[in-house]
Each structure stands twice: as structure tokens, then as C-alpha cells.
Amino acid sequence: MSPASALRCSDEERERASAVVHRAAGEGRLSLEEVEERLAEIYTARFRHELDAIIADLPPLQESATGWRPVLTAARHQLAGDLSALTGRGQNVISPRRRLVLTLAMLGLLLLVVAMVVLALHGIVGGDEVEHHGVGRD
């Protein structure tokens, strides 16, 4: 492919190639010297095919989920693991201190829910405002 017919690479494409190199270094696929060499080549590359050649022997980046979904999934897995360990059904063994903290946290959450229900039933939270009719008002 001749450079005259090739497309120039953008800064975003350089950053993606850089991320591939950094991830590969983190996985132990590249030495520090190789990372430095490849990054220098990435930031001096002018055409897309040059970037492709620099990272051709490395696995591509996987699209990762963004937003709250990964956070909520991790929290759900952690809670499920803690509850199974707390009840003794899981294979995970938790320390007595963590068991106490989890138990207190669950009791506190239960107390909060009960308090909110009681307050809602008494009209303190989420209730309509009460009209006061005083003496002498028409």
C-alpha cells in the first residue's frame, strides 16, 4: 500500500493503538523497551496502515461496558457472595469481624426501611400538608 493512497491516522486512532500497547505491557506481553519503541512509532505514524503494523501481533482491545452497569453488576456479585458466606451456604469463608459488620449493616438497613414505613404511615414523610384552621379565620 503506497502512502499516497493510504488514509492518515487521527489522534483518536493513535490513542487506541497506544491503549493496546499499554494493556499488552500490563499483561506481560511486552517489555518496557518494546513499549517505549512502539509508543514512539505510534506517535510518529502518519498513516493507518503504519499503526496497524505496530500492533498487529497484539490482541485487540475488547469493548468494555460503560456507565453504571459494571458497577451495579460488581456490587450485586459482592452482595450475593457476602450473603451466601454469611448464611454459610457459600464456599467463601468470611472473618468474624466482617460477619459482624455485614450483620450490623443489614440490621441498620432493615431499621431504616421500617422507620421510613412508619413515618410514611404517620404522614410525616411523603404525606399531604395538613391545613390548620384557626379561630377567627374565615
The lowest-confidence range among 11-20, 53-62, 80-89 is 80-89
Encode pLDDT of 85-135 as tens digits.
767 666 666 678 877 888 898 899 999 999 999 888 887 755 555 565 666
Nearest Cα residue to 81 out of 90, 71, 72, 73: 90
* Predicted local confidence at residue 45, as pLDDT: 93
* Predicted local confidence at residue 3, as pLDDT: 53
Rounded alpha-carbon distances, angstroms, from residue 125 to 43, 107, 114: 59, 21, 13
Whether the pLDDT of residue 51 is over 90: the answer is yes
User: What is the SS3 assignment for 8?
Assistant: strand
Task: Find the mean pLDDT for residues 3-23.
Answer: 85
Amino acid at 33: E
Rounded alpha-carbon distances, angstroms, from residue 12 to 15, 49, 56, 67: 5, 15, 18, 21
Instruction: Identify whether the C-beta of residue 50 lies closer than 8 Å to the C-beta of residue 9.
Output: yes
* Predicted local confidence at residue 112, as pLDDT: 95
pLDDT band at 41 (very low <50, low <70, confident <90, very high): very high
Each domain of the chain, given as residue ranges in start order, spans 11-55, 66-94, 95-127
Task: Find the mean pLDDT for residues 43-63.
Answer: 89
Higher pLDDT among residues 42 and 96, named by residue: 42
Whether the CA torsion 70, 72, 74, 77 is positive or negative: it is: negative
Task: Find the mean pLDDT for residues 69-82.
Answer: 80
